[in-house]
Amino acid sequence: MLERRTLGSTGLQVTFIGFGALEVGRDWGLGDAEQRRRPAEEEAGETLNAVLDMGINLIDTARAYHESEARIGKYIAHRRAQYVLCSKCGEHSDEPRTYYDFSYRAVKDSIDLSLRLLQTDVIDVMQIHFGPAPQKVLDDGETLRAMREAQEEGKVRFLGASPGMDVLERCIDSGDFQVLQIGYSLLDQSAHDLILRAYEKGIGVLTRSGLAAGWLTPRALTVPPEKRPPKVQRLLELCGGDADLLHSLALHFLHRHPGIGSVLIGTRRAQNLERNLQLLSQPVDEALLDKATAIGRE
């Protein structure tokens, strides 16, 4: 059975590895246009079912992920009791683009649309999908008002946000959110202390970008050395060019942090998730991990 952690004061028991459903609904990632293209609908359905078959019980999506919510609803709504469902509002889909609208009416309508597409009566965690002016969104309070109303109506269980570092501390201290989705990885450790602070306040923490959009996986080898971020190149050299080892170190780095409830791994292929679970289940050289952590912290 996969390791589960309690998501803050919500009481939700979530697998340490969660599924980020961005890539099953929207073109994304490293590589050329073909490599970034979202899968066909049936393939996305196979991936979603495989995620649940592996025992992963947390799925994170958003209105801005284009077809993601609709595909989740179509292919796994019948298995709704098997997963904690998180979505986001404020950034809206208008293929092939997205746009931001944090007004009360837009957010209320967005939540209702998400419920219909996801084919569910309730979304476990609804998060603010911040854009270019997060301070203003919080100051205006319209988004949070709409989310609270949806919570009172039983459409949403817990309120969350996906903030950048510019408003992370404010979100932690506000008392408004039971869950925060925070960017954190071996390459970007800036949120380390704030994740611990959130955890100590009883806020559940999901981490995004834990594999740095693929830079901490074998995908990095598809990019010429001179075009890789300098830290990535140094980490690969530390690992003797073994990208699987770097991938393992990146996962174990996240696992070390007691404040992280679940790490969101985004992929369009189920076998990539299986590989993450395998790497995390294998022991790691702690001294090597310490050296990698020091490089990433520089």
> Span 231-246, mean pLDDT?
97
Q: How confident is the model at residue 123 (pLDDT cuts 50, 70, 90)?
A: very high
In whole angstroms, what is the distance from residue 164 CA to residue 181 CA?
9
* pLDDT tens sequence across 250-291: 999 999 999 999 999 998 889 999 999 999 999 999 999 999
Distance CA 248, CA 242 (A): 10
Examine residue 130 and state whether it is found in any structural domain, yes or no.
Answer: yes
Residue 163 has pLDDT above 90, yes or no: yes
pTM listed for this prediction: 0.95
pLDDT of 27: 77
Q: What is the CATH number of the domain that holds 263?
A: 3.20.20.100
- Return the higher-pLDDT residue of 37 and 194: 194
Flag whether 74 is in a domain: yes
pLDDT at 39 exceeding the cut of 90: no
pLDDT per residue over 81-115, tens digit each?
Answer: 999 999 999 999 999 999 999 999 999 999 999 99
The answer to whether residue 8 sits within a structural domain is no
Identify the band that residue 36 occupies on the pLDDT scale cut at 50, 70 and 90.
confident
Query: Taking residues 212-228, what's their average pLDDT?
Result: 93
What does the pLDDT read at residue 30? Answer: 62
> What is the DSSP-derived secondary structure letter of residue 223?
S
Overall domain count for the chain:
1
Mean pLDDT, the chain, rounded, equals 96
- Listed residue (68, 43, 84, 66) closest to 178, CA to CA: 84
Place of tokens 């310490």: 290
pLDDT band at 34 (very low <50, low <70, confident <90, very high): confident
Q: Is residue 99 part of a domain?
A: yes
Q: For residue 9, tell me if it sits in a domain.
A: no
Tell whether 224 is covered by a domain. yes
pLDDT at 268: 86
The domain in which residue 46 lies consists of 14-297
Q: Indicate whether 18 belongs to any domain.
A: yes
* Residue 187: how many other CB atoms lie within 10 Å: 21
Quick one: tokens of 36? 């970034």
Buried b (16+ CB within 10 A) or exposed e, 95-123: eeebeebbebebbbebbebbbebbbbebb
Instruction: State pLDDT tens for residues 63-86.
Output: 999 999 999 999 999 999 999 999
Domain membership of residue 193 (yes or no) is yes
